[in-house]
Amino acid sequence: MKIALLCALGMSTSLLVDRMKKAAADRSIEADIDAYSVDDVDEQLKTADIILLGPQIRYKQNELFKKAEQTNMPIAIIDMKAYGVRDGEKVLDQVLEMLQ
């Protein structure tokens, strides 16, 4: 599964991505997880299985959710607390719940 995390520049989520990759590996879940700039949303709508938004781009929620809805892409804002402490386990759980 391909999980795309979108943030302002694609860099602030790198630590969270690393922790999500470790959590997935620990659970034997095959996942391609990477961070991208919110400007890459159109490309990610074509290639990802799910998109998560960093809390710092919440202001773009309406625009991004509308685009995702048009392509039936699951999308959500990352839990602010989990994002703040870079809790890869919790964010991975958020993804798995959304994909059930």
Compute φ and ψ for 71, nearest 5 degrees. Answer: -110, 10
CB of 60 within 8 A of CB of 83? no
Strands 75-77 and 32-37: what pairing?
A: unpaired
Helix, strand, coil percentages (3-state) for the chain, rounded to 5, are 55, 20, 25
The one catalytic residue among 6, 7, 50, 68 = 7
- Concerning whether 7 is annotated as a catalytic residue, the answer is yes
Residues assigned a catalytic role = 7
